C-alpha cells in the first residue's frame, strides 16, 4: 500500500528499496485496503490463558499461531528459529509464510476479518499501517513493552530497547508497530582501501573535499550512488543537516513548518557541499544511471571509495565483496565550529516493522513471539544470520561480528545519545523520494544549483503542508 504512515514508510525506503523490492507503489494506489472486516472490534485478548512468571502475556497452550514474514534481503530463517522456540514452549506449530507480497496477500484477509497474527510488514508491497491503525485493526503492543524480558525478568521489555524504537512505533498515542531491526546510515567505505592508500576517514566537509582530490588523482572515483534511486543520498543529506543545524531545526522540516528549508543555514551548507562534490567531478561517471545493486558492486570492486547507504549493505553486497574488503561506516562529518551536535553523531534508527493483527486468532501469541525474538539469543541469531543489529541495546556485545556489523555497532556505541532519527521520508515519501529525489538527481549531475534545490524543496514542502489529502504528523521538539 502507499503509505503516509508515521511508522511504515521509512522501512520501505531503506529496506524495500535496498533489498531489491524497488517498485514503490503510487500513493493512494492501495489506499482502499482494509476497509472491511471486524478486526477493530476485537479487544486483542482472544484465546487468553492463565498468566505466570514465564507466560506473562497469558498465551494459551496449544492454540495455533500464524506468522507472515517479509522474505527479502533478510530472509526469514531468523523468524523460523524463534518460531521453533515458541512451538516448544506452547505446544503448537506456527504456520509460517515467507513472502515478498505482504500487501497483495493480506489486504483481502484484513478486509475479510481473518488476518494472520504476526506480520513483518516490509517491502514495496507492504500494508498501509496508518490506515490499519486508524481502523483499529492493529494490536496495541503496550502489554509487550511492559512484560518482563526473557533474559532478565526484573527488566521490562521496554527497558532493553533503544528509546527511538518506542517513538518510531507510535500512531499518535498508541504503540502498535514494533520495529525489530536497527539500521545505521552513513558513509560506507573499505577500511582496507583507506589503510592501503594511507588515507584517513574525513572528520569534516573540508577534509572530505581534500581527500576526494587525492582519491581522484589515484584513479578512483571518490563517490558513487544509486542514481536510479537518488533518495539514498538523503540518508546522509538529511542527517547531516540535523547534525550541523541542530535537531530542533530538523524537526521543523519534519513538521513542514514554513521556511524550515530556506531559513536553515545548515541546509545551505550541506546542499552546497554536494554541489561542490558534483562540480569537481567527485562522483563515479555514470552513477546517475545505476541501481542500488550496480552502485554497490562498483564500490565493492574498488571503482569508488565512498557510498551513502544503510547497514543492510553488508549482507546485500556480500556476493561481490572481497574477503579482505573490511567494510566500515563512519559518523557524520563536521560542518565547522558552529555545529549544534558533536562529532560522532550519526543516523541510527529502528527498521523492519512488525505488527500484530488485533483480529487475528491469537494476538497474544503474536506478541509473545515478538518477546522471544527480543531475547538476547534471538537478537544475536539475527545479527549472525543477516549482519544487522536489532532494537535490543547491547545484544551483540562480546560477539564476533562481521566487519560491517562490527563497525556499525562501534559507531552506535560511540554515538551514545547522539543518534538521529529522521521522520520526513517516512511521513511524506512522495515529497522526499519523488520531488526532492528529482532535485537531488539534478544537483549531483550539475544540472541544478544548490540555491535552486533549496528554493524548490521549500516550495514542494509548502505544497504538501497545504494539501488536505495528505495525512499530517507532528513531532515534538
Task: Give the per-residue pLDDT at 73.
Answer: 75
* 3-state helix/strand/coil string of the chain: CCCCCCCCHHHHHHHHCCCCCCCCCCCCCCCCCCCCCCHHHCCCCCCECCCCCCCCCCECCCCCCEEEEECCCCCCHHHHHHHHHHHHHHCCCCEEEEECCHHHHHHHHHHCCCCCCEEECCCCCCCCHHHHHHCCCECCCHHHHHCECCCCCCCEHHHHECCHHHHHCEECCEECCEEEEEEEEEEEEEHHHHHHHCCCCCCEHHHHHHHHHHHHHCCCEEECCCCCCCCHHHHHHHHHHHHHHCHHHHHHHHCCCCCCCCCCHHHHHHHHHHHHHHHCCCECCCHHHCCHHHHHHHHHCCCEEEEEEECCHHHHCHHHCCCCCCEEEECCCECCCCCCCCCCCEEEEEEEEEEEECCCCCHHHHHHHHHHHCCHHHHHHHHHHHCCEECECCCCCCCCCCHHHHHHHHHHHHHCCCEECCCHHHHCHHHHHHHHHHHHHHHHCCCCCHHHHHHHHHHHHHHHHHCCCCCCCCCCC
Q: Is the dihedral of CA 181, 183, 188, 192 positive or negative?
A: negative
335-390 residue pLDDT tens: 999 999 999 999 999 999 999 999 999 999 999 999 999 999 999 999 999 999 99
- 120, β-bridge pairs: 354
The C-alpha cell that represents 273 in the structure block:
557541499
Task: Give the per-residue pLDDT at 49.
Answer: 85
Topology of the domain comprising 9-183+349-412: D-Maltodextrin-Binding Protein; domain 2 (3.40.190)
Residue, of 45 and 243, whose pLDDT is higher: 243
37-78 residue pLDDT tens: 333 335 556 788 889 999 999 999 999 999 999 998 788 999
Is the confidence at residue 16, as pLDDT, over 60?
Answer: no
Q: How far is CA 134 from CA 113, 118, 139, 471, in A?
A: 16, 18, 12, 11
Task: Give the per-residue pLDDT at 463.
Answer: 98
Residue 348 phi, psi (nearest 5)? -145, 125
CB 152 within 8 A of CB 28: no
Spatial separation of the C-alpha atoms in residues 291 and 271, rounded to whole Å? 22
Spatial separation of the C-alpha atoms in residues 181 and 381, rounded to whole Å? 12
Task: Give the per-residue pLDDT at 6.
Answer: 30
pLDDT mean over 204-208: 98
pLDDT mean over 85-102: 96
CB 141 within 8 A of CB 353: no
Task: Give the per-residue pLDDT at 45.
Answer: 67
The C-alpha cell that represents 424 in the structure block:
520526513
394-447 residue pLDDT tens: 999 999 999 999 999 999 999 999 999 998 987 888 899 999 999 999 999 999
CATH 3.40.190.10 in the chain, residue ranges? 9-183+349-412, 184-347+424-466
Task: Give the per-residue pLDDT at 129.
Answer: 87
The C-alpha cell that represents 116 in the structure block:
494472520
Task: Give the per-residue pLDDT at 13.
Answer: 39
- 183, β-bridge pairs: 349
Range in 211-215, 273-277, 413-417 with the lowest mean pLDDT: 413-417
Architecture of domain 184-347+424-466: 3-Layer(aba) Sandwich (3.40)
Identify the band that residue 474 occupies on the pLDDT scale cut at 50, 70 and 90. Answer: confident
Task: Give the per-residue pLDDT at 44.
Answer: 58
pLDDT mean over 441-458: 98
Task: Give the per-residue pLDDT at 17.
Answer: 37
Residue, of 152 and 472, whose pLDDT is higher: 152
Is the confidence at residue 241, as pLDDT, over 60?
Answer: yes
Counting residues of the chain whose pLDDT is more than 90, the rounded percentage is 79
The C-alpha cell that represents 457 in the structure block:
524543496
The C-alpha cell that represents 378 in the structure block:
534471538
Q: Is the pTM of this model over 0.85?
A: no
- Count of Cβ atoms closer than 10 Å to residue 77 Cβ: 15
Amino acid at each position: 500500500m502507499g503509505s503516509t504512515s508515521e511508522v511504515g514508510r521509512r522501512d520501505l525506503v531503506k529496506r524495500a528499496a535496498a533489498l531489491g523490492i524497488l517498485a514503490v507503489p503510487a500513493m493512494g494506489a492501495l489506499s482502499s485496503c482494509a476497509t472491511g472486516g471486524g478486526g477493530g472490534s476485537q479487544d486483542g485478548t482472544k484465546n487468553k490463558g492463565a498468566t505466570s512468571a514465564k507466560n506473562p502475556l497469558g498465551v494459551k497452550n496449544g492454540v495455533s499461531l500464524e506468522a507472515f514474514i517479509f522474505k527479502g534481503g533478510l530472509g526469514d530463517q531468523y523468524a523460523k528459529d524463534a518460531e521453533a522456540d515458541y512451538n516448544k514452549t506452547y505446544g503448537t506449530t506456527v504456520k509460517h509464510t515467507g513472502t515478498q507480497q505482504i500487501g497483495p496477500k493480506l489486504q483481502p484477509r484484513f478486509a475479510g476479518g481473518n488476518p494472520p497474527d504476526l506480520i513483518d510488514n516490509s517491502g514495496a508491497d507492504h500494508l498501509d499501517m496508518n490506515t490499519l491503525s486508524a481502523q483499529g485493526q492493529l494490536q496495541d503492543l503496550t502489554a509487550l513493552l511492559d512484560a518482563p524480558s526473557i533474559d532478565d525478568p526484573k527488566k521490562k521489555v521496554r527497558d532493553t530497547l533503544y528509546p527511538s524504537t518506542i517513538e518510531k512505533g507510535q500512531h499518535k498515542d498508541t504503540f502498535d508497530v514494533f520495529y525489530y531491526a536497527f539500521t545505521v546510515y552513513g558513509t560506507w567505505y573499505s577500511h582496507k582501501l583507506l589503510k592501503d592508500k594511507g588515507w584517513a576517514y574525513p572528520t569534516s566537509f573540508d577534509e572530505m573535499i581534500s581527500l576526494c582530490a587525492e582519491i581522484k588523482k589515484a584513479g578512483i572515483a571518490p563517490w558513487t550512488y544509486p542514481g536510479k534511486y537518488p533518495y539514498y543520498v538523503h540518508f546522509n543529506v538529511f542527517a547531516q543537516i540535523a547534525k550541523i543545524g541542530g535537531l530542533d531545526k530538523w524537526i521543523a522540516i519534519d513538521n513542514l513548518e514554513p521556511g524550515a528549508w530556506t531559513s536553515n543555514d545548515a541546509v545551505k551548507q550541506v546542499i552546497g557541499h554536494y554541489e561542490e562534490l558534483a562540480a569537481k567531478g567527485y562522483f563515479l561517471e555514470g552513477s546517475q544511471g545505476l541501481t542500488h545493486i550496480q552502485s554497490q558492486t562498483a564500490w565493492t570492486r574498488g571503482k569508488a571509495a565512498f557510498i551513502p547507504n544503510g547497514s543492510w549493505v553488508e549482507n546485500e553486497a556480500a556476493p561481490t565483496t572481497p574477503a579482505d574488503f573490511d567494510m566500515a561506516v563512519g559518523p557524520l562529518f563536521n560542518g565547522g565550529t558552529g555545529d549544534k551536535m558533536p562529532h560522532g553523531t550519526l543516523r541510527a534508527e529502528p527498521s523492519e516493522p512488525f505488527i500484530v493483527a488485533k483480529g487475528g486468532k491469537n494476538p497474544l501469541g503474536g506478541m509473545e513471539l515478538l518477546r522471544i525474538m527480543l531475547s538476547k539469543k534471538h537478537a544475536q541469531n539475527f545479527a549472525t544470520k543477516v549482519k544487522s543489529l536489532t532494537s535490543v541495546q547491547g545484544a551483540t556485545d562480546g560477539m564476533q561480528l562481521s566487519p560491517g556489523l562490527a563497525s556499525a555497532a562501534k559507531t552506535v556505541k560511540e554515538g551514545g545519545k547522539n543518534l538521529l532519527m529522521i521522520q520526513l521520508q517516512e511521513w511524506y515519501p512522495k515529497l522526499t523520494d519523488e520531488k526532492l529525489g528529482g532535485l537531488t538527481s539534478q544537483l549531483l549531475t550539475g544540472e541544478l544549483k544548490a540555491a535552486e534545490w533549496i528554493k524548490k524543496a521549500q516550495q514542494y514542502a509548502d505544497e504538501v503542508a497545504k494539501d488536505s489529502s495528505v495525512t499530517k504528523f507532528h513531532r515534538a521538539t
